[in-house]
Amino acid sequence: MSLINKLFGGSKEPKEEKVLPWIALATVEQLEDISEKSKTKPQVIFKHSTRCGISSMVMNQFVSAYDVDLPVDLYYLDLLSYRDVSNEVGYKFQVMHQSPQLIVIKNGVVVTHASHSAISGIDLTKYI
């Protein structure tokens, strides 16, 4: 491989894409399950706007930094497709809507949440 290709990422080798153990959050009924499960294992909700560049950038940063061995349930909420679920998350867990947003639930209550670039500042290991 030439020096130019090395410098500018011209490698023909495909990058391995990291896949997280997402659980789709698509119904309001799941929120009661999340609350109940949080009594034995932290539950994490990532609210994502699929049409927002900032949300996509934050999502990519989160995926890159996420430790797949964490003992949490990780939910993905496409808030544009499931607006009613997104609204109910705010009501049920008393968190003002933001996008993107990360919400950590333990023992039925939100123990931390963040939006936008502040998501990368959350250390999920503190809530295990």
Q: Would residue 49 count as lying in a domain? A: yes
Tens digits of per-residue pLDDT, 19-31? 899 999 999 999 9
Q: Would residue 26 count as lying in a domain? A: yes
Model confidence, pTM: 0.86
In whole angstroms, what is the distance from residue 43 CA to residue 12 CA?
Answer: 38
Q: Would residue 23 count as lying in a domain? A: yes
Domain membership of residue 85 as a residue range: 18-127
- The predicted pLDDT at position 2 comes to 53
Strand partners, 113: 103
Helix (H) / strand (E) element for 87: namely helix 83-93
Does residue 16 register a pLDDT over 90?
Answer: no
- Residue 45 belongs to domain with CATH number: 3.40.30.10
Over the chain, what is the mean pLDDT?
Answer: 90
Residue 72: Cβ-neighbour burial (10 angstroms; 0-12, 13-18, 19+): buried
Tens digits of per-residue pLDDT, 82-97? 999 999 999 999 999 9
